[in-house]
Every structure is written in structure tokens, then in C-alpha cells.
Amino acid sequence: MVNSTHEKDILIDCKNLQKTFYTGGVETHALRDASCVIRRGEFVSIMGPSGSGKSTFMHLLSFLEEPTGGSYRFDGKDALAFDRKILARLRNQEIGFIFQAFNLLSKLTVHDNVELPLLYDFYTKGFSRSKEHKKRIAHALESVGLTHRAEYKAQYLSGGEKQRVAIARALVNNPKIIFADEPTGNLDSKAGLQVMKILQKLSADGHTIIMVTHEHSTARHASRILRLRDGVLERDEKVEDRLFATEMEELK
């Protein structure tokens, strides 16, 4: 599958990843075996029925949980050796999250929600910090077409708009990779399509995106699909009949 790839093009390289939960003396093998290589700029869907381990797989890749077995190299470094401090920096600087439930702070404005990751940016130094932050917020809002909503409270937005704010928030730190967990799961088809359109545009601009979904039509917007079944990564396939979101097309 992976051929003639330059070492530095590889963002994610995992082998035989496993995750076993122990609850009340009972073992649950959420993920048994998953190996894959993801290069920079790829748009990858992780698919599978519920209970297949697709969410667990994404949690491991995005450092939300630690694997109980296997190896994982992120950006050339051993991810299993990352401590809390490194993880906080990674989450802030190199990773963007998009959640199914949006997870906006409803009492804050759109602008303040997008600003949230920047509040924890302890890494950009110097006098130009706030200027740079302003620029990034403006750019992120523009990318999702919500510049005109900047001063609205998040709670007054529609679902589709909320998810676009969440995308802007994920973008604002200019991350190396964006993780999207069922980003269209809470949206109607039209709004979902709009979200996919934005994600595809981000992908075209060179962002790496990993998206978990159980909908086949949604998954086909990516360039590659990883299919899981019973905790095993079964198939890793290129999307031949890739869908491109336009205003006309309907999801589902």
C-alpha cells in the first residue's frame, strides 16, 4: 500500500495498536490490531459499525487515550513516550479537534470560542503574539464563512453554523492534523454537506484530516478509507468514486 514515501512525509505510523479496557475484572478488547501509515495532506475516513473500535482507534491516534499494545510514531517521534507537558503542547499546537456535539461554550461569542485554543498558547512568544492571534482568528472565521457572525453568542447559532465555528476553532492554531469525530452526526444533510465542503477545501489547502464516521456517503468525501470490524483494521482502500461536496449534493 505504502510505496516510495519519503520518511518526512509520514505523519502517522502505527503498528499493531491495541487497546484493552479492564472494568470490574472484565477485559474488553476495544481495538485488537490496527496498523497504518498516514502521510501529510491526506484526508482519511475511519469507518466501521458501532463497536468496531473506530472511535477507540481515533482516540489513540489523537492521544486522548494510551494504547495497551503496539507502537505509534507521530511526526517521527515515539508517541508512547509523550508526557503530559508534551501532550498539552501537541493538543494546543499540532492537533485540531472537531466533535460530533460541537462542544462550543454556549455563553461565549463565536469569536471567543474560536479564540479558546489561543488562550492556552504559551508557545508563541514576543510582541506580535496578540496581533498574530487576531490574524489567525480572522482567517479561521473566513475559512468557514462566519466572519459576519463573530459577535454572535454561540447558543444562538444553527447546528451547521455551530459545527463551522468548531472547525474554525480547530483551525485557529494552524494544526498539523485535524481529527473529526462524526462531524456530520448531529447535522441535517444540507448542513452536513456544507461541513464536508469546508473539510474538503481544507484538505485541498494541504491540511491532514482524519474523520470518524459510520456513514458510507460521508466517508466517500475522503481520499482514503480505513475500515474496522471487531477491533481489527480490515481494509485500507483508496476512494475510487470520491464524492465532492457541492451545494446540490445530498448526504446520506
Report the site for other proteins in 166-195 (rule: CB under 8 A): 169, 173, 181
Smallest gap from residue 187 Cβ to other proteins (A): 14
Smallest gap from residue 91 Cβ to other proteins (A): 4
Distance CA 215, CA 237 (A): 16
Q: Is the dihedral of CA 114, 47, 73, 65 positive or negative?
A: positive
Q: Which residues contact 230 (CB under 8 A, 6 or more apart)?
A: 32, 51, 52, 53
Question: Which residue in 70, 73, 97, 223 binds other proteins (CB under 8 A)?
Answer: 97
Amino acid at 249: E
State the Cα torsion 217-219-225-226 to the nearest 10°: -110
Distance CA 98, CA 209 (A): 10
Question: Counting contacts by CB under 8 A, is residue 162 touching other proteins?
Answer: no
Smallest gap from residue 87 Cβ to other proteins (A): 9
Pick the closer one to other proteins by CB: 80 or 105. 105
Distance CA 63, CA 59 (A): 6
Distance CA 47, CA 195 (A): 18
Backbone angles phi, psi at 215, to 5 degrees: -95, 125
| Piece in contact with other proteins (CB under 8 A), picked from 14-22, 98-106, 201-209, 221-229 | 98-106
Question: Counting contacts by CB under 8 A, is residue 93 touching other proteins?
Answer: yes
Pick the closer one to other proteins by CB: 131 or 235. 131
Backbone angles phi, psi at 20, to 5 degrees: -120, 130
Residues in the interface with other proteins (CB under 8 A) total 27
Contact 166, 158 (CB under 8 A): no
Question: Which residue in 3, 23, 25, 84 binds other proteins (CB under 8 A)?
Answer: 84
Distance CA 153, CA 131 (A): 23
Question: Counting contacts by CB under 8 A, is residue 131 touching other proteins?
Answer: no
Question: Counting contacts by CB under 8 A, is residue 65 touching other proteins?
Answer: yes
Pick the closer one to other proteins by CB: 117 or 231. 117
Question: Which residue in 15, 101, 156, 204 binds other proteins (CB under 8 A)?
Answer: 101
Q: Strand, helix or coil at 202?
A: helix
Question: Which residue in 2, 80, 116, 204 binds other proteins (CB under 8 A)?
Answer: 116
| Piece in contact with other proteins (CB under 8 A), picked from 96-104, 154-162, 215-223, 244-252 | 96-104
Question: Counting contacts by CB under 8 A, is residue 54 touching other proteins?
Answer: no
Pick the closer one to other proteins by CB: 67 or 117. 117
- In 3D space, the residue among 179, 33, 172, 11 whose CA is nearest the CA of residue 79 turns out to be 11
Amino acid at 168: A
Contacts with other proteins by CB under 8 A lie at: 55, 59, 64-65, 84-85, 88-89, 91-93, 97, 99-101, 103, 105, 107, 116-117, 119-122, 169, 173, 181
